[in-house]
Structure 1
């Protein structure tokens, strides 16, 4: 089978995608610099799959080292590019950190492959801002980003689309995820934030197990049924499988053009308070939470129309929010007993 480069492959979504690529018969090579992940994840992937993936520690912002790496690995046929900083709140406080890392890494990769590669790009529903119509579909125009993180995804998509327009050898699929949560069924890999979690679910699990204090619900005065913000949460294993489907579509040359975009979500929104209730119901653990002010950079509500992915990628999410919460809790309990 083909050899796929997974950048950021020891991260949350990357590690699950490495597992699903292995399950689909692909050879995988991971590049990561461990700036937002842990080397032990390689051991965990090996335990799950029974095979240790090839790994190279590399900062993709180093242009010459990226060129040298690609020159030594001429058998790579596709790239799934996850390597990016992703915390909305941090990006508001440190915008240059996000612009430097998220753009340099992408541009260096494209140049190193001489713009001749199948590339799956890790994008985000943040490119939509607060949509005028819900569920939002891929034809909806993007709005001014609510955060530097969201802006890096918007501009990266523009870079890729404009480069594809003049470079037939570059074939790109941008996957706009909604909110990835959950963990592998083995409880051996999952979300592993460094420091205080910026995302809801890992903060919930860390609070539930005693690592954190009460959960803060950022705002209960939004124009939503219970006043808390609504997101489309998707199980990370479903999301990983979508990346395999995207690579297969690029390889089969079935794409309608050399630049395509797909939403990846469940097509259903859940509020913060609903997620908290789902966690309590699925685990039997009562959560302690307080209501706080709205958080800068957050939008009110968003969920996706995922019909295009079902039709063209032959993919749809299968795991519900109950399973998302249960698997995330199992992962947190594993970490309690096996700290990284």
Structure 2
């Protein structure tokens, strides 16, 4: 079995990817600092797959700890790097936190990966690298506009760091997956999105409002130049996204990559407005959602949805689940954790 390291492996996307890796027969080592996750997620992963991944609590900002970890695990065949702070709004308020956490940790990981016999890394990138793209849908060739937030800037810089490192260390192979808006939960409702404190993302705020934890959902702006005035995003089911990481990893392990740094958009190719997401939730849950229109939020782009042809053809990956499927699974997860 190939040994794969997943950083941030107890987080929302990381935990679902660990499940898919284990289902494909990989041995998973998992690092998380538990700053925005819970060790109880391990139980959910183990319950789904029948296998408990090897977990190490570790703060990747501590370079010596990263070095020591890799000294103990020199037989790692690939790294999937999720560990990062990820909220657009928070990054505007706390830019230094984001630059330290998202860039220093990537650098420390890369320093160790280039020393491995198998130097393969999948980078958790984001559609935020495009800024406010000029054309929809967004292709991988779209010029990157100035980032709308420090979070988006860390993803732009992160890709540049990896690209430069690949140029200098030709044996390093990397894929940056630029994903759009992950939502939903595992069909078992044993793992899902579990934000600590007030959710920064739309869907958990919707489900928590429906569950009675939040009084009202704020829709940030209804005066955008879109079909209903609210922002448009490409919402992808987290399990579809997790499977894309496994396929990308296999591409590197099998040496099917065409260059040692590749980028792929991971989305559905369909743009949905905030109000359409709310409507989808109401349809699948049978609940009416209490929401209000609030002022625009700094850092938000107007519209972003993917052209997925490159991932569909070169990776052989395609999103399988609809917006309704994802919203149904998100509500099932919320009901489970709230005992509703």
Alignment of 1:50-69 (within 5 A): 50-69=50-69
Q: How far apart are residue 114 of structure 1 and its match?
A: 3.3
Distance (Å, rounded) in 2 between the aligned partners of 1:69 and 1:292: 46
Q: How far apart are residue 166 of structure 1 and its match?
A: 1.5
Q: Number of residue pairs matched? A: 338
Match of 1:48 in 2: 48
Match of 1:193 in 2: 195
The TM-score, its normalising length taken from structure 1, stands at: 0.98
**Contact map agreement 2:9 2:30 (CA 8 A) in 1:** yes
Match of 2:305 in 1: 303
Q: Secondary structure at the match of 2:80?
A: strand
Aligned mate of 2:212, from 197, 203, 210: 210
Match of 1:224 in 2: 226
Q: Does residue 15 of structure 2 align to residue 31 of structure 1?
A: no
Q: Does residue 275 of structure 2 align to residue 273 of structure 1?
A: yes
**Contact map agreement 2:5 2:30 (CA 8 A) in 1:** yes
Moved >3 Å (runs of 4+): none
Deviations 1:207-251 (A, max 9, x none): 000000111111110100111000000000000000000000001
Match of 1:160 in 2: 162
Match of 1:103 in 2: 103
Aligned mate of 2:284, from 275, 282, 285: 282
Q: Secondary structure at the match of 2:338?
A: helix
Match of 2:14 in 1: 14
Q: Does residue 50 of structure 2 align to residue 89 of structure 1?
A: no
Q: How far apart are residue 275 of structure 1 and its match?
A: 0.2
**Contact map agreement 1:115 1:167 (CA 8 A) in 2:** no
Cα RMSD between the aligned structures? Answer: 0.9
Distance (Å, rounded) in 2 between the aligned partners of 1:115 and 1:61: 19
Q: How far apart are residue 86 of structure 1 and its match?
A: 0.1
Q: How far apart are residue 259 of structure 1 and its match?
A: 0.1
Distance (Å, rounded) in 2 between the aligned partners of 1:31 and 1:170: 21
Match of 2:242 in 1: 240
**Contact map agreement 1:3 1:75 (CA 8 A) in 2:** yes
Distance (Å, rounded) in 2 between the aligned partners of 1:321 and 1:35: 29
**Contact map agreement 1:176 1:262 (CA 8 A) in 2:** yes
The TM-score, its normalising length taken from structure 2, stands at: 0.98
Q: Does residue 92 of structure 2 align to residue 112 of structure 1?
A: no
Deviations 1:85-104 (A, max 9, x none): 00111000000000001011
Distance (Å, rounded) in 2 between the aligned partners of 1:141 and 1:61: 31
Match of 1:332 in 2: 334
Extract unaligned runs of 5+ from structure 2.
none
Q: How far apart are residue 295 of structure 1 and its match?
A: 0.5
Q: How far apart are residue 115 of structure 1 and its match?
A: 4.9
Q: Secondary structure at the match of 2:28?
A: strand
Match of 1:141 in 2: 143
